[in-house]
C-alpha cells in the first residue's frame, strides 16, 4: 500500500475494518455457505441477503466515483437483490470475492485521488463524501453480519474476528 496520511488513512482504516471494527477480510472467513442462507429468529435478513445488499451499494458508489450516473432504485427493496440463500458453495465464494474486490477498488480510489475533488456526476459532493456514504453503509451492515454469525454460533472466525 502506498504511504498515505491523514484523511486518506482514516478512510482506508474504516474500509478495511481497522480499529473499532472487525477486519473486513475476516467477517466472511470460514462461514459455511449454507449458514449464510439461514434466517435466525428475529432477523429480517440472511447473511447472503446482506452481502448482496452490500455489493449493490458498493458498486453504486464505485460507479459514482468512476464518473457514471447509476440510477437509485425506485424503492428500497430494489437494493436487496437475489434469493435468501446462495445456490451453491461456488456462488457463495464468488460473491464474497466480488465484495472484497469492490473493497480493493474503493481502496485504490482513496489512494489515487484527491478526496476533496468533486464526484464527477455529483459535483456538489466531494469524493470524500461519496466514500463516507460507503463507509457508513458497510460499517452498519457488516456489524449486522457479525451479529448474525454470533446468532448462528459461527463467530469468531479462525482469525479471531473482533474478539481478543
Residue with cell 442462507: 37
Which CATH number characterizes residue 117's domain? 1.20.120.450
Return the CA Rg of the chain.
16
Residue 60: inside a domain: yes
**Which candidate, 144, 108, 143, places its Cα nearest to that of 12?**
108
Residue 134: inside a domain: yes
Residue 160: inside a domain: no
Per-residue pLDDT tens digits for 127-156: 999 999 999 999 999 999 999 999 999 999
Tell me the whole-structure pTM to 2 decimals: 0.93
What's the domain range around 144? 18-151
Residue 34: inside a domain: yes
H/E stretch holding 26: helix 24-27
Whole-number Å distance between alpha carbons of 79 and 64: 16
Residue 91: inside a domain: yes
Number of structural domains found in the chain: 1
Asked whether 54 and 142 are in contact (CB, 8 A), the reply is yes
Per-residue pLDDT tens digits for 62-83: 999 999 999 999 999 999 998 9
Between the CA of residue 136 and those of 32, 87, 142, what are the distances in Å?
26, 29, 10
Average pLDDT across the chain, whole number: 92
Residue 135: inside a domain: yes
Residue 26: inside a domain: yes
Residue 72: inside a domain: yes
Amino acid at each position: 500500500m502506498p504511504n498515505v496520511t491523514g484523511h486518506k488513512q482514516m478512510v482506508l482504516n474504516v474500509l478495511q475494518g481497522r480499529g473499532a471494527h472487525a477486519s473486513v477480510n475476516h467477517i466472511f472467513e470460514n462461514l459455511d455457505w449454507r449458514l449464510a442462507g439461514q434466517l435466525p429468529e428475529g432477523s429480517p435478513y440472511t447473511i447472503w441477503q446482506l452481502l448482496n445488499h452490500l455489493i449493490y451499494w458498493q458498486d453504486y458508489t464505485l460507479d459514482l466515483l468512476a464518473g457514471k450516473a447509476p440510477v437509485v432504485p425506485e424503492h428500497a427493496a430494489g437494493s436487496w437483490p437475489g434469493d435468501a440463500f446462495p445456490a451453491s458453495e461456488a456462488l457463495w465464494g464468488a460473491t464474497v470475492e466480488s465484495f472484497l474486490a469492490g473493497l480493493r477498488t474503493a481502496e485504490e480510489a482513496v489512494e489515487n485521488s484527491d478526496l476533496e475533488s468533486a464526484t464527477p456526476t455529483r459535483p456538489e459532493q466531494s469524493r470524500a463524501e461519496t466514500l463516507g456514504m460507503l463507509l457508513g453503509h458497510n460499517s452498519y451492515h457488516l456489524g449486522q453480519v457479525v451479529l448474525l454469525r454470533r446468532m448462528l454460533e459461527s463467530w469468531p472466525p479462525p482469525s479471531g474476528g473482533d474478539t481478543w
